[in-house]
Amino acid sequence: MLSVDQPYEIVIGLEVHVQLRTTTKLFCRCATQFGAPPNTNVCPVCLGMPGALPVINEHAVQLALQTGLALGSTIPPMTKWDRKQYFYPDLPKGYQISQFDLPICDGGHLTIADPADESQTRTIRLIRAHLEEDAGKSMHDEANGRADSRIDLNRCGTPLLEIVSQPDMRSAAEAKAFLTELKLLLTYLDVSDCEMQEGSLRVDANVNLKIEKAGDTIATPIVEIKNMNSFRAVERAIAHEAQRQYHEWEETGLTIKDRTKRTFGWDDAAERTVPQREKEEAADYRYLPDPDLLPICLSVETVEATRVALAEFPAVARQRLQSDYEIKAYDADVIVNQGRGVVEYFEAVAKGSGDARRASSWIQQDVLRTMKEQGKGIADFAVSADTLAELLGQVSAGKLDNARARDVFQHLLEKRGSVAEAIKALGIESVDAGEIESLCQELLDANPQVVEDVRGGKMQAIGSLIGQAKKKNPNVNPKQFREICLQLIQSAG
């Protein structure tokens, strides 16, 4: 859609590198653990030592398969390994073991909420997903005029799944929505922890523009923005790059036919995309089927068994929460987008309390807010699902009002323990009906105007007495108080 202030359409394709959640590397038994001292999680195989040979980690293949199935990819009966050859100090063998023409996952798609209209969805098609090993990391120390480069090869051989989309996205917001939904899916499947700050999810974006001019559509040259590791960076980089390309086109008039793809990086501090050193010609990776590894043949049985055993997808969970618990689409969405842990928490609270809507509302307000304040995940949350279920059950049964329940919740957050203990510690006692009745009578007698109003049909007039009642006895249940007052007024009438 073209508008006056944005006289172009952005075309975006993403390449997402996901680190798979294996304990060992793709072709050896070294640990994939993050943050180990440099060059400690290494062996002859991942160092590419002369004579060493790779052996496939079948768990990585399984995780890739799960991901492909969840993304609706076709799983070919045979997939193979190729060497992608280039010289780089992070790459000890001089080639990366990857998949070229026969990737493990072919095609597929991901459906996202349309950022332009939340009630609509968009389907982003995928080209492929393939397995490959990660390279190492160079650290350059240029302080004090030094030009030291140090290489940490711990990351060499870490299993990556590269998911490549079609250029189907039309805005930075769509790119972000795609990444958010993809990350959510991957964490639901438990195939990756998607820790972006640890590099478990890295994004390259291919961006160009379609500009309408005098009835013609002109495409600008494609730029690949490499290695972004936050959604914010992706969003901003794309937005910036679109502007930059438009200005460049205005100045040079160069189109996609005039220029091959260029590689840019994202400078977060300067908030701009910057060209990386350009190769004079397109890289020639001299792909070669890796003779050290056998092709992988996945049987129909294996694929089907994996499909059957797949964890629930977020999209399915959203539907299910709506139908099983009769909560609104918006509420289901909020809960599901918090991850599988929150969904499980919600379901336990809903079932345990017998009041799904109350559970939904408490979790969205009190639980999520507290989690955000504390910066904690649901797994570390102080109030267990069973405890919250018990608390909300008491609210539903009329034993506690919402305000007192929040006091109990706050107490549980700070002191943990059981609901009963919290109630005891807070001095909350259930007030017997006789006591409430005399309190009602006392207040009604003192406020004849209220009695008058209620008789005149203004039921809410009782509300003004509740505050007074609570002052006299904080354990008074407002609901009960209201009911008894009404009964007294009616019986007196």
Partner 1 sequence: MTIPLDSAAKLLGLLASGELTARQATQASLDRIAATDPEVGAFTFVNTEAALAAADSIDQRRRDGQPLGALAGVPIAVKDVLCTTDMPTTCSSRMLEKHMSPYDATVVARLRAADAVIVGKTNMDEFAMGASTETSAFGKTTNPWNPSLTPGGSSGGAAACVAAGDVPLSLGSDTGGSIRQPAAFCGITGLKPTYGRVSRYGLIAFASSLDQVGPMAFDAVDCATLLNAIAGVDASDSTSLPVETPDFTAGLDRIEGELRIGIVKHHLEAEGLDPEVRQAVDDAIEVFRDAGAKIVEVELPHSDYWVPTYYVIAPSEASSNLSRYDGAHYGHRSPVAASEAGDRGPLVATYCRSRGEAFGAEVKRRIMIGMYALSAGYGDKYYVKALQVRRLIRQDFDSAFQNVDLLLGPVTPTPPFAMGEKIDDPLQMYLCDLFTVGANLAGIPALSMPGGLTSNNLPIGIQLQAPPLQEAKLLQAAAAFQRATDWHTKRPL
Binding site for partner 1 (CB under 8 A): 44, 47-56, 83, 85, 87, 89, 92-95, 147, 151, 282, 284, 286-288, 291-294
Of the two residues 46 and 228, which places its CB atom closer to Zn ion in the complex?
46
Question: Whose Cβ is closer to partner 1: residue 38's or residue 107's?
Answer: 38
Residue nearer to partner 1 on the CB measure, 143 or 147: 147
| Contact partner at residue 51 from Zn ion, partner 1, none, CB < 5 to 8 Å by partner kind | partner 1
Whole-number Å distance between alpha carbons of 184 and 254: 39
Q: Phi then psi for 95, rounded to 5 degrees?
A: -150, 155
The smaller minimum CB distance to partner 1, of residues 53 and 274, is found at 53
Alpha-carbon dihedral of residues 319, 320, 321, 327, nearest 10 degrees?
60
For the chain, first and last CA: distance in Å? 68
Q: Which does 284 bind (CB under 5 to 8 A by kind): partner 1, Zn ion, none?
A: partner 1
Report the distance separating Cα 419 and Cα 383, nearest Å. 10
- Least spacing, CB of residue 278 vs partner 1, in Å: 14
Number of residues in the chain: 493
Which partner from the list Zn ion, partner 1, none does 147 bind, CB cut-off 5 to 8 Å by kind?
A: partner 1
Q: What CA–CA distance (Å, rounded) separates 105 from 223?
A: 25
**Residue 47 binding: pick among partner 1, Zn ion, none (C-beta 5-8 Å cut-off by kind):** partner 1
Sheet strands side by side (includes 82-85): 95-98, 82-85, 288-289
User: Where on the chain is the footprint of Zn ion (CB under 5 A)?
Assistant: 28, 30, 43, 45-46
Tokens linked to 236: 């901003």
Distance between CA atoms of residues 93 and 112, nearest Å: 39
Shorter beta-carbon distance to Zn ion: residue 28 or 321:
28
Taking the least distance from each CB to partner 1, the nearer of 51 and 375 is 51
Sign, CA torsion 180/181/186/188: positive
CB of 24 to partner 1, least distance (A): 14
SS (H, E, C) 279-340: CCCCCCCCCEECCCCCCEECCHHHHHHHHHHCCCCHHHHHHHHHHHHCCCHHHHHHHHHCCH
* Residue 30 contacts which entry, partner 1, Zn ion, none (Cβ below 5-8 A, type-dependent): Zn ion
Give me the least distance between CB of 92 and partner 1, in Å please: 5
Residue spans of alpha helices (H) in 135-277 = 172-189, 231-252
Q: Which does 228 bind (CB under 5 to 8 A by kind): partner 1, Zn ion, none?
A: none
CB of 385 to partner 1, least distance (A): 44
Residue with tokens 């007196």: 492
434 binds, among Zn ion, partner 1, none (CB under 5 to 8 A by kind): none
Taking only Cα atoms into account, the Rg of the chain, rounded to an integer number of angstroms, comes to 30
Could you tell me the smallest distance in angstroms from the CB atom of residue 159 to Zn ion?
Answer: 12
56 binds, among Zn ion, partner 1, none (CB under 5 to 8 A by kind): partner 1
User: Of these partners, Zn ion, partner 1, none, which one is at the site of residue 95 (CB under 5 to 8 Å by kind)?
Assistant: partner 1
Minimal distance, residue 90 CB to Zn ion, in Å = 15
Maximum pairwise Cα distance, the chain: 100
Q: Are 465 and 447 in contact (CB under 8 A)?
A: yes
Pick 88 or 330: Cβ nearer partner 1: 88
Nearer to partner 1, 98 or 245 (CB): 98
Tokens of 356: 């799904």
Smallest separation (angstroms) from Zn ion to the CB of 157: 6
Per DSSP, 441 falls in state: H
Min dist CB 287 to partner 1, Å, is 7
Nearer to Zn ion, 24 or 306 (CB): 24
The Cα 251–Cα 271 span in angstroms is 22
- All residues at 6 or more sequence positions from 54 whose CB lies less than 8 Å from its CB, including other chains: 26, 27, 28, 45, 97, 290, 292, 293
Report the nearest approach of Zn ion to the CB of residue 49 (Å). 10
Which of partner 1, Zn ion, none sits in contact with 46, Cβ below 5 to 8 A by type?
A: Zn ion
Please identify, using beta-carbon distances, which residue of 30 and 485 lies nearer to Zn ion: 30
Reduced to 3 states (helix: H, G, I; strand: E, B; else coil), residue 77 is coil
CB of 22 to Zn ion, least distance (A): 12
Q: Are 119 and 329 in contact (CB under 8 A)?
A: no
The DSSP bridge partners found for residue 267 are 272
